[in-house]
Structure 1
């Protein structure tokens, strides 16, 4: 069975850190991008998904170059 290619956009039940800190145990469906997946023969198989959001990060969370 082949796995989708990196770059695929999927819906994912994503829980932000601040939501978990408030005690939430379920997020909402959000768009996420498949970034990488480990070899299909490895167990457990690892998949990296990054959330996609139109909201810019708060000032204290800005990425610094």
Structure 2
């Protein structure tokens, strides 16, 4: 019974934790599919399930 309770508690606390490895990727694995882009990201495409493909904004280099 103790191993079952331990596993139940572990899954309960680890469930909300997200790992970017399992997130859906887009634009040749450089972007990620999320519900909304952050301030440092730009919308570059659309994904399945009404998600947005966001890429981190790259600063322009003056050369």
Q: Under TM normalisation by the shorter chain, which class is it?
A: under 0.3
More strand by share: 1
Q: Highest CA radius of gyration, 1 or 2?
A: 2
TM-score, normalised via structure 2 length: 0.24
Greater relative contact order: 1 or 2 (C-alpha under 8 angstroms, separation 6 or more)? 1
TM-score, normalised via structure 1 length: 0.23
